[in-house]
Copies of this chain bind each other. A is one copy, B any other.
Protein backbone atom coordinates (compact mmCIF):
# COMPACT_ATOMS: atom_id res chain seq x y z
CA UNK A 1 0.00 0.00 0.00
CA UNK A 2 1.30 3.47 -0.97
CA UNK A 3 1.89 6.19 1.56
CA UNK A 4 0.95 9.78 0.87
CA UNK A 5 2.25 12.71 2.88
CA UNK A 6 -0.40 15.40 3.03
CA UNK A 7 0.06 19.07 3.80
CA UNK A 8 -3.07 19.95 5.76
CA UNK A 9 -2.16 23.65 5.79
CA UNK A 10 -1.59 26.12 2.97
CA UNK A 11 -4.88 25.67 1.11
CA UNK A 12 -7.32 28.59 1.06
CA UNK A 13 -9.93 26.51 2.94
CA UNK A 14 -7.70 25.10 5.69
CA UNK A 15 -7.37 21.78 7.62
CA UNK A 16 -11.09 21.01 8.01
CA UNK A 17 -11.46 20.79 4.22
CA UNK A 18 -8.36 18.56 4.04
CA UNK A 19 -9.80 16.32 6.77
CA UNK A 20 -13.06 15.95 4.83
CA UNK A 21 -11.14 15.21 1.65
CA UNK A 22 -9.01 12.52 3.29
CA UNK A 23 -12.09 10.71 4.62
CA UNK A 24 -13.75 11.01 1.20
CA UNK A 25 -10.74 9.65 -0.70
CA UNK A 26 -10.09 6.87 1.84
CA UNK A 27 -13.67 5.65 1.36
CA UNK A 28 -12.84 5.06 -2.30
CA UNK A 29 -9.23 3.83 -2.36
CA UNK A 30 -6.68 2.38 0.05
CA UNK A 31 -3.65 4.35 1.16
CA UNK A 32 -1.43 5.06 4.10
CA UNK A 33 -1.20 8.70 5.08
CA UNK A 34 1.07 10.95 7.06
CA UNK A 35 -0.79 14.17 7.74
CA UNK A 36 1.21 17.30 8.45
CA UNK A 37 -1.08 19.68 10.30
CA UNK A 38 -2.70 20.77 13.56
CA UNK A 39 -3.20 17.75 15.84
CA UNK A 40 -6.65 18.87 17.00
CA UNK A 41 -8.15 18.41 13.55
CA UNK A 42 -6.87 14.90 13.00
CA UNK A 43 -6.31 13.03 16.29
CA UNK A 44 -9.57 11.05 16.04
CA UNK A 45 -8.73 10.06 12.43
CA UNK A 46 -5.62 8.35 13.77
CA UNK A 47 -7.86 6.17 15.94
CA UNK A 48 -10.12 5.30 12.98
CA UNK A 49 -7.37 4.45 10.49
CA UNK A 50 -4.39 2.56 11.81
CA UNK A 51 -2.32 3.39 8.68
CA UNK A 52 -2.53 7.11 9.36
CA UNK A 53 0.07 9.06 11.29
CA UNK A 54 0.46 12.73 12.12
CA UNK A 55 3.19 15.33 12.26
CA UNK A 56 1.81 18.09 14.44
CA UNK A 57 2.36 21.39 12.66
CA UNK A 58 0.84 24.87 12.81
CA UNK A 59 3.04 26.82 10.40
CA UNK A 60 3.08 27.04 6.65
CA UNK A 61 4.77 29.07 3.93
CA UNK A 62 2.50 31.73 2.43
CA UNK A 63 2.39 32.98 -1.15
CA UNK A 64 3.84 36.30 -0.02
CA UNK A 65 7.10 34.89 1.32
CA UNK A 66 10.29 34.41 -0.65
CA UNK A 67 10.06 30.63 -1.24
CA UNK A 68 13.82 29.97 -1.20
CA UNK A 69 14.33 31.95 2.01
CA UNK A 70 11.27 30.42 3.68
CA UNK A 71 12.35 26.84 2.87
CA UNK A 72 15.73 27.52 4.50
CA UNK A 73 14.41 29.38 7.54
CA UNK A 74 10.97 27.99 8.39
CA UNK A 75 12.10 24.53 9.45
CA UNK A 76 8.80 23.98 11.27
CA UNK A 77 6.64 24.79 8.21
CA UNK A 78 4.42 22.06 6.78
CA UNK A 79 6.28 21.99 3.46
CA UNK A 80 9.71 21.53 5.08
CA UNK A 81 8.49 18.93 7.59
CA UNK A 82 6.65 16.99 4.88
CA UNK A 83 9.49 16.98 2.36
CA UNK A 84 11.98 15.92 5.04
CA UNK A 85 9.62 13.07 5.96
CA UNK A 86 9.36 12.10 2.28
CA UNK A 87 13.15 11.70 2.19
CA UNK A 88 12.76 9.13 5.00
CA UNK A 89 9.68 7.28 3.86
CA UNK A 90 6.44 7.59 1.86
CA UNK A 91 5.76 7.72 -1.87
CA UNK A 92 4.28 11.09 -2.72
CA UNK A 93 3.71 14.54 -1.21
CA UNK A 94 0.48 16.48 -1.79
CA UNK A 95 -0.05 20.14 -1.01
CA UNK A 96 -2.52 22.88 -1.90
CA UNK A 97 -0.04 25.46 -0.61
CA UNK A 98 2.39 27.84 -2.30
CA UNK A 99 3.75 26.54 -5.64
CA UNK A 100 6.91 28.55 -5.09
CA UNK A 101 7.49 26.85 -1.74
CA UNK A 102 6.90 23.44 -3.30
CA UNK A 103 9.37 24.25 -6.07
CA UNK A 104 12.02 25.57 -3.68
CA UNK A 105 11.46 22.63 -1.35
CA UNK A 106 11.76 20.29 -4.32
CA UNK A 107 15.13 21.81 -5.23
CA UNK A 108 16.59 22.10 -1.72
CA UNK A 109 15.10 19.08 0.07
CA UNK A 110 14.00 16.50 -2.54
CA UNK A 111 16.84 17.52 -4.92
CA UNK A 112 16.86 17.69 -8.70
CA UNK A 113 16.83 14.58 -10.87
CA UNK A 114 20.17 13.96 -12.55
CA UNK A 115 20.11 15.71 -15.95
CA UNK A 116 17.29 18.01 -14.84
CA UNK A 117 18.45 21.57 -14.33
CA UNK A 118 14.95 22.82 -13.55
CA UNK A 119 11.50 21.54 -12.59
CA UNK A 120 8.17 22.00 -14.38
CA UNK A 121 4.53 22.05 -13.35
CA UNK A 122 2.50 19.81 -15.68
CA UNK A 123 -1.26 20.32 -15.29
CA UNK A 124 -4.02 18.84 -17.38
CA UNK A 125 -5.53 21.69 -19.38
CA UNK A 126 -8.83 22.25 -21.24
CA UNK A 127 -9.03 20.30 -24.49
CA UNK A 128 -12.15 19.14 -26.31
CA UNK A 129 -10.61 15.74 -27.04
CA UNK A 130 -9.93 14.89 -23.41
CA UNK A 131 -6.76 14.98 -21.36
CA UNK A 132 -3.90 17.19 -22.47
CA UNK A 133 -0.83 17.93 -20.36
CA UNK A 134 1.07 21.18 -20.63
CA UNK A 135 4.48 21.82 -19.07
CA UNK A 136 5.81 24.19 -17.94
CA UNK A 137 3.09 26.64 -16.94
CA UNK A 138 5.08 28.95 -14.72
CA UNK A 139 7.33 27.07 -12.30
CA UNK A 140 10.54 27.83 -14.20
CA UNK A 141 11.41 31.03 -16.05
CA UNK A 142 14.34 31.78 -18.35
CA UNK A 143 15.09 28.17 -19.21
CA UNK A 144 17.23 27.08 -22.17
CA UNK A 145 16.27 24.70 -25.02
CA UNK A 146 18.08 21.76 -23.38
CA UNK A 147 15.90 22.21 -20.30
CA UNK A 148 12.79 22.27 -22.48
CA UNK A 149 13.93 18.99 -24.08
CA UNK A 150 14.28 17.58 -20.57
CA UNK A 151 10.77 18.83 -19.71
CA UNK A 152 9.54 17.06 -22.85
CA UNK A 153 11.15 13.78 -21.78
CA UNK A 154 9.87 13.76 -18.22
CA UNK A 155 6.39 15.01 -19.12
CA UNK A 156 6.04 12.44 -21.91
CA UNK A 157 7.09 9.78 -19.42
CA UNK A 158 4.42 11.07 -17.02
CA UNK A 159 1.75 10.92 -19.75
CA UNK A 160 2.80 7.38 -20.61
CA UNK A 161 3.35 5.85 -17.15
CA UNK A 162 0.78 7.73 -15.08
CA UNK A 163 -1.94 8.63 -17.59
CA UNK A 164 -1.51 5.50 -19.73
CA UNK A 165 -1.04 7.34 -23.02
CA UNK A 166 0.87 5.08 -25.41
CA UNK A 167 3.72 6.86 -27.21
CA UNK A 168 2.28 10.27 -26.34
CA UNK A 169 2.11 12.84 -29.15
CA UNK A 170 4.18 15.85 -28.18
CA UNK A 171 3.76 19.41 -29.48
CA UNK A 172 5.74 22.59 -28.89
CA UNK A 173 3.84 25.77 -28.04
CA UNK A 174 4.84 28.31 -30.68
CA UNK A 175 3.48 31.22 -32.72
CA UNK A 176 3.34 29.40 -36.06
CA UNK A 177 3.42 25.90 -37.44
CA UNK A 178 6.67 26.06 -39.42
CA UNK A 179 10.04 25.02 -37.93
CA UNK A 180 11.54 28.50 -38.35
CA UNK A 181 8.73 30.30 -36.46
CA UNK A 182 9.04 31.84 -33.03
CA UNK A 183 11.83 33.26 -30.95
CA UNK A 184 15.39 31.91 -30.80
CA UNK A 185 14.59 29.54 -27.93
CA UNK A 186 11.59 28.05 -29.77
CA UNK A 187 13.53 27.45 -32.98
CA UNK A 188 16.37 25.74 -31.10
CA UNK A 189 13.93 23.67 -29.05
CA UNK A 190 12.15 22.60 -32.25
CA UNK A 191 15.46 21.24 -33.55
CA UNK A 192 16.23 19.38 -30.32
CA UNK A 193 12.75 17.82 -30.20
CA UNK A 194 12.94 16.83 -33.89
CA UNK A 195 16.27 15.09 -33.29
CA UNK A 196 14.99 13.29 -30.16
CA UNK A 197 13.30 9.90 -29.96
CA UNK A 198 10.11 11.51 -28.63
CA UNK A 199 6.91 11.39 -30.71
CA UNK A 200 7.24 15.05 -31.70
CA UNK A 201 4.37 16.25 -33.91
CA UNK A 202 5.55 19.86 -34.38
CA UNK A 203 4.57 23.33 -33.28
CA UNK A 204 1.16 24.04 -31.82
CA UNK A 205 -0.27 27.55 -31.88
CA UNK A 206 -2.05 28.74 -28.76
CA UNK A 207 -5.35 29.08 -30.64
CA UNK A 208 -5.24 25.31 -31.21
CA UNK A 209 -4.45 24.20 -27.64
CA UNK A 210 -8.13 23.71 -26.90
CA UNK A 211 -8.78 21.55 -29.98
CA UNK A 212 -5.43 19.91 -30.79
CA UNK A 213 -4.73 16.19 -30.86
CA UNK A 214 -1.50 16.32 -28.85
CA UNK A 215 -1.15 14.49 -25.53
CA UNK A 216 1.57 16.81 -24.25
CA UNK A 217 2.45 20.42 -25.06
CA UNK A 218 5.86 21.70 -24.07
CA UNK A 219 6.18 25.40 -23.34
CA UNK A 220 8.61 27.72 -21.73
CA UNK A 221 7.13 28.63 -18.31
CA UNK A 222 6.37 32.29 -19.01
CA UNK A 223 4.42 31.80 -22.25
CA UNK A 224 2.87 28.56 -20.96
CA UNK A 225 1.42 30.47 -18.04
CA UNK A 226 0.27 33.26 -20.38
CA UNK A 227 -1.49 30.74 -22.66
CA UNK A 228 -3.20 28.85 -19.87
CA UNK A 229 -4.48 31.92 -18.04
CA UNK A 230 -5.58 33.60 -21.30
CA UNK A 231 -7.72 30.53 -22.00
CA UNK A 232 -9.09 30.47 -18.44
CA UNK A 233 -9.89 34.18 -18.44
CA UNK A 234 -11.61 34.07 -21.81
CA UNK A 235 -13.66 30.99 -20.94
CA UNK A 236 -14.67 32.48 -17.59
CA UNK A 237 -15.68 35.81 -19.14
CA UNK A 238 -17.66 34.24 -21.99
CA UNK A 239 -19.52 31.89 -19.66
CA UNK A 240 -20.24 34.79 -17.34
CA UNK A 241 -21.64 36.82 -20.27
CA UNK A 242 -23.75 33.83 -21.30
CA UNK A 243 -25.02 33.37 -17.75
CA UNK A 244 -25.90 37.04 -17.38
CA UNK A 245 -27.69 37.00 -20.73
CA UNK A 246 -29.69 33.96 -19.69
CA UNK A 247 -30.81 35.75 -16.52
CA UNK A 248 -31.78 38.91 -18.36
CA UNK A 249 -35.54 38.51 -18.78
CA UNK A 250 -38.36 35.94 -18.83
CA UNK A 251 -37.57 34.96 -22.42
CA UNK A 252 -33.88 34.35 -21.86
CA UNK A 253 -34.57 32.59 -18.54
CA UNK A 254 -36.73 30.13 -20.41
CA UNK A 255 -33.94 29.63 -22.94
CA UNK A 256 -31.61 28.91 -20.04
CA UNK A 257 -33.89 26.18 -18.72
CA UNK A 258 -34.10 24.65 -22.19
CA UNK A 259 -30.34 24.38 -22.82
CA UNK A 260 -28.91 24.04 -19.32
CA UNK A 261 -28.33 20.28 -19.33
CA UNK A 262 -27.18 19.95 -22.93
CA UNK A 263 -24.76 22.82 -22.53
CA UNK A 264 -23.34 21.49 -19.29
CA UNK A 265 -22.69 18.17 -21.00
CA UNK A 266 -21.11 19.81 -24.06
CA UNK A 267 -18.75 21.83 -21.85
CA UNK A 268 -17.83 19.00 -19.50
CA UNK A 269 -14.56 18.17 -21.27
CA UNK A 270 -13.36 21.71 -20.63
CA UNK A 271 -14.03 21.69 -16.89
CA UNK A 272 -10.72 22.15 -15.09
CA UNK A 273 -12.31 20.86 -11.89
CA UNK A 274 -12.24 17.40 -13.48
CA UNK A 275 -8.67 17.27 -12.17
CA UNK A 276 -7.55 17.80 -8.61
CA UNK A 277 -3.98 18.84 -9.23
CA UNK A 278 -0.74 18.58 -11.19
CA UNK A 279 2.67 16.99 -10.71
CA UNK A 280 5.85 18.99 -10.23
CA UNK A 281 8.36 17.07 -12.34
CA UNK A 282 12.15 17.30 -12.38
CA UNK A 283 12.95 16.39 -8.77
CA UNK A 284 13.78 13.03 -7.21
CA UNK A 285 10.52 12.67 -5.30
CA UNK A 286 6.90 12.54 -6.40
CA UNK A 287 5.43 15.97 -5.64
CA UNK A 288 1.80 16.80 -6.39
CA UNK A 289 0.18 20.24 -6.28
CA UNK A 290 -3.55 20.64 -5.63
CA UNK A 291 -5.37 23.87 -6.50
CA UNK A 292 -4.99 26.53 -3.82
CA UNK A 293 -8.76 27.00 -3.82
CA UNK A 294 -9.50 23.25 -3.57
CA UNK A 295 -12.69 22.13 -1.90
CA UNK A 296 -13.04 18.71 -0.27
CA UNK A 297 -14.15 17.10 -3.55
CA UNK A 298 -11.25 18.38 -5.62
CA UNK A 299 -8.70 17.74 -2.85
CA UNK A 300 -10.02 14.17 -2.53
CA UNK A 301 -9.55 13.85 -6.29
CA UNK A 302 -6.00 15.17 -5.91
CA UNK A 303 -5.33 12.49 -3.28
CA UNK A 304 -6.48 9.81 -5.72
CA UNK A 305 -4.35 11.30 -8.51
CA UNK A 306 -1.32 11.51 -6.22
CA UNK A 307 -1.72 7.87 -5.20
CA UNK A 308 -2.05 6.92 -8.88
CA UNK A 309 1.16 8.88 -9.54
CA UNK A 310 2.91 7.00 -6.69
CA UNK A 311 1.71 3.63 -7.97
CA UNK A 312 2.81 4.22 -11.56
CA UNK A 313 6.47 3.52 -11.00
CA UNK A 314 7.29 6.78 -12.80
CA UNK A 315 9.77 8.00 -10.19
CA UNK A 316 11.90 4.85 -10.42
CA UNK A 317 11.88 5.24 -14.19
CA UNK A 318 12.83 8.95 -14.05
CA UNK A 319 15.60 8.40 -11.50
CA UNK A 320 17.19 5.89 -13.88
CA UNK A 321 16.51 7.80 -17.08
Contact = CB atoms under 8 A, between A and B. Distances in A.
Contacts of A183: 141-142, 221-222
Interface in A217-272: 221-223, 225-239, 241-242, 244-246, 248-249, 251-252, 254-256, 258-259, 262-263, 266-267, 270
A175 interface: yes
B262 A252 contact: yes
Contact of A230 (B138, B226, B246, B248): B226
Contact of A238 (B182, B225, B235): B235
Chain copies in complex = 2
Given A252-B262, A255-B255, A266-B245, A226 B223 contact: yes
Interface residues of A, number: 55
A268 B268 CA distance: 26
Contacts of A244: 266
A221 to B, nearest CB: 8
A11 interface: no
A159 to B, nearest CB: 21
Interface string A54-90: 0000000000000000000000000000000000000
B245 A262 contact: yes
A262 to B, nearest CB: 5
Nearest to A184: B142
A25 interface: no
Given A245-B262, A251-B258, A227 B227 contact: yes
A153 B251 CA distance: 48
Contact of A266 (B206, B241, B251, B256): B241
B251 A233 contact: no
Contacts of A254: 255, 258
A33 B256 CA distance: 51
A234 B208 CA distance: 8
Instruction: Among A234, A254, A256, find the residue whose CB has the most chain B CB atoms closer than 10 A.
Output: A234
Contact of A231 (B234, B252, B266): B234
B234 A230 contact: yes
Given A234-B210, A241-B267, A245-B259, A226 B175 contact: yes
28 contacts: A128-B241, A138-B175, A141-B182, A141-B184, A175-B229, A182-B222, A205-B229, A206-B225, A207-B229, A210-B233, A210-B237, A222-B223, A223-B223, A228-B230, A230-B230, A230-B234, A231-B231, A231-B233, A234-B234, A238-B270, A241-B266, A241-B267, A242-B242, A242-B266, A245-B262, A251-B258, A254-B255, A255-B259
